[in-house]
Amino acid sequence: MRILGIDPGFGRTGIGIVDMTGGNSVHVFHDVIETPKEHDFGVRLLAVRDELREVIAKFKPDTAAVEQLFFSNNAKTAMKVGMARGVVLLTLQEMSVPFVELTPNQVKQGIAGWGGADKKQVQEMVARLLKLKEIPKPDDAADALAIAMVGGLIARFPGK
């Protein structure tokens, strides 16, 4: 099963793809969709949609996992990230890619075994579990790989 993990954002959206066979995940691809700050917000959302469509067309994931929006003290930023997340979900729906939604704590628990794990611990476990020589960069891509791995387990074993 091929899983697309997405760490949504409007400035940078992390993308990670893994193939899962049995309980093992194999790294396929990771990157970020970056949108220039000087572009209008609507143009940035279009860029997220267009680049995500290209990734889906190229890698043909069986399912996707998208991180849920966590609470932010900055309401303006949270709203913009929420809108980018909506574009991601709409794009997945339009391209007929089923998806699961994960909380940040679910991702941390699934990768590091503890919902309170910090970002560095999660990234180190991503590299270790995928047998990578170094932590994937940038951070958003490493997070997306973690989301893909946990999402793949949830998609394979729903209700567990």
Helices (H) and strands (E) in the chain, counts: 5, 5
pLDDT of residue 160: 47
Active site residue 140: yes
pLDDT digits (tens, 9 = 90+) for 6-55: 999 889 999 999 999 887 899 999 999 999 999 999 999 999 999 999 99
Active site residue 67: yes
Q: Which of 54, 62, 139, 140 is catalytic?
A: 140
Domains assigned to the chain: 2-156 (3.30.420.10)
Q: Which of 54, 67, 101, 143 is catalytic?
A: 67
Question: Which residues sit opposite 18 in a β-bridge?
Answer: 3, 27
pLDDT of residue 10: 83
Does pTM top 0.85 for this prediction? yes
pLDDT of residue 63: 96
Nearest residue to 12 via CA among 141, 146, 145, 142: 141
Nearest residue to 63 via CA among 92, 87, 84: 92
Residue whose token pair is 């991601």: 88
* Cβ burial, residue 66 (10 Å; 0-12/13-18/19+): buried
